[in-house]
Structure 1
Amino acid sequence: MMGSIKALIVDDERFSREELIYLLTSYDAIEVVGEADSGDAAIMKAIHLQPDVIFLDVEMPKMDGMEVAKSVQELRKVPAIVFATAYPDFAVEAFRHEAVDYLLKPFDEEQLGVAIARLEKKLRPVESTVSRPSKLAVERDDEIHYLNPADIMYVYREDRLTKIVAKDHEYETKWTLKEVEERLKGFSFFRIHKSYLVNLDYVDRLIPWFNGAYQLELRGRKDKLSVSRNYVKGLRKQLEL
């Protein structure tokens, strides 16, 4: 297994730095190696710590985040950039600096999760294919069935059981939905609801429902799955070019 992704947190507001550091502790893939409260300090820390990624505030006095992003491109080890700001107006300019993502304050945990997934894909592109099991083992009728993740359409939680809907059968497991999600990490699955995990390869249509929520149709199935409002933005980012 490859090492953690080393992160430097840069923001002139202490509370924002502390909040983001706290949220990042939930991700085993991320190791926060330092923080800085100004653009000048960020460049010095980047030279000394050589982070893999900088979570970078845009609005800072003297040297703003865009200037920092431009400056670190000259370093021997160029870090990835994830901008973090309360202002959406900088998004276009941010992506001119080849930013991996653009987080809006106050931080949304689902949006942060999407950013971490993009970081892992960019910085650890081969990890999911190196020395990892390729089948999901599920017991059914006193037998152990080995499911190809590509054949799993979606997974959901019901009556204290987790149910796995594959192309040919439906299976039950005592694993929690979170445990199944962890086992399928690295494959094309995405959480669309607190009780549903879907294989993006089977998504056919998103249908507006109510209050910002959607219903999702999968190719080859008549049932519609609920997409919670909090997950819609992240889902669309994963699906759309």
Structure 2
Amino acid sequence: MELRTIVVDDEPFSRQELVHLLKEHENINVAAEANSAEKALELILREEPDAVFLDIEMTGMSGVELAETLQKLKKPPSIIFATAYPDYAVKAFRLEAVDYLLKPFDEVQVAQTVNRLIQRFSLPEKNAGAVTGRLAVQSGDRILYLEPGSILYIYKEGRDTFIVTEKEKYPSKIALKELEGKLKGYSFFRVHKGYLVNMEKVEELVSWSPSVFQLKLTNSKDQIPVSRNYVKELREALEL
């Protein structure tokens, strides 16, 4: 697999350094370079690269503004932000960047990013977001990386979403439906319009009446309501 990339940075030294490190990887083809976001946009529309390594603080259009523009394309390239400023990590997450490289670059850091990029293009489309095998969740001003297997269940309460593990409950700004999509390919099942449950953690399906069911989970005192609309599918999923 060869991935075509474009490197965008208005600082010549940083741009050349990153290009040099990327060329050490046979899977990466640096198709073009740009010293501004405006020039990069022209190149991206013409070259249609798989990925763009993008500086953030640039004269004129910023890297964030360019990334927002690229998201509107029918087939946007994967974005890797490359910057000296760690304060943009949350914005990078919101723009679904593959990674966030901090300057000065080093071989190990770039190699890890290249591996994530290759994994993303090697995975089926429906699970392309899970390149690290972990779920990236923005919680307040933090970005958390949770192992899907550590999650007991996810629920929404009003406009808020919460991710519950055996140790802690995390508030999240991501909608339940979006989290459900991110966790496709893992053992999660919608049991209620407001609940998504890790089926690996289900210990017991309790029937309180012919139409009222609850789930008991391993290592949890919480009981999860099951909508009668989901009971049949849930029984099949549990092989009952």
CA distances 1:65-107 after superposition (whole Å, capped 9, x unpaired): 0000000112232100000001111111111100000000010
* Residue of structure 2 equivalent to 1:103: 101
Offset from partner CA, 1:165-220 (integer Å, 9 cap, x none): xxxxxxxxxxxxxxxxxxxxxxx9xxxxxxxxxxxxxxxxxxxxxxxxxxxxxxxx
- Superposed, 1:50-129 pairs within 5 Å as 50-125=48-123
Which runs of 5 or more structure 2 residues have no equivalent in the other structure?
125-132, 134-240
Distance 1:40 1:75 in 2: 15
How far does residue 27 in structure 1 lie from its aligned partner after superposition? 0.4
Structure 1 letter corresponding to 2:72: E
The percent identity for this pair of structures is 49
TM normalised by structure 2 equals: 0.50
2:3 aligned partner: 5
Structure 1's consecutive aligned runs of 4 or more residues displaced over 6 angstroms after TM superposition are none
Deviation at 1:108, TM superposition (A): 1.8
SS at match of 2:61: coil
Secondary structure class of the residue paired with 1:41: helix
User: Per-residue deviation at 1:59?
Assistant: 0.3
* SS of equivalent residue, structure 2 residue 105: coil
Counterpart mapping for 1:116-155 below 5 A: 116-125=114-123
Q: Secondary structure at the match of 1:54?
A: strand
Q: Matched residue of 1:120: which SS?
A: helix
* Number of the residue aligned with 1:40: 38
Query: 5+ unaligned residues in a row in structure 1: which ranges?
Result: 127-187, 189-241
Query: What is the total number of aligned residue pairs between the two structures?
Result: 125
TM-score by length of 1: 0.50
Considering only aligned residues, what root-mean-square deviation do their CA atoms show, in Å?
Answer: 1.4
Shift, 1:124, TM fit:
2.2
**Which residue matches 1:18?**
16
Aligned to 1:103, what secondary structure does the other structure show? strand
Residue 14 of structure 1 deviates from its aligned partner by: 1.0
Contact 1:47 1:75 in 2 (8 A): no
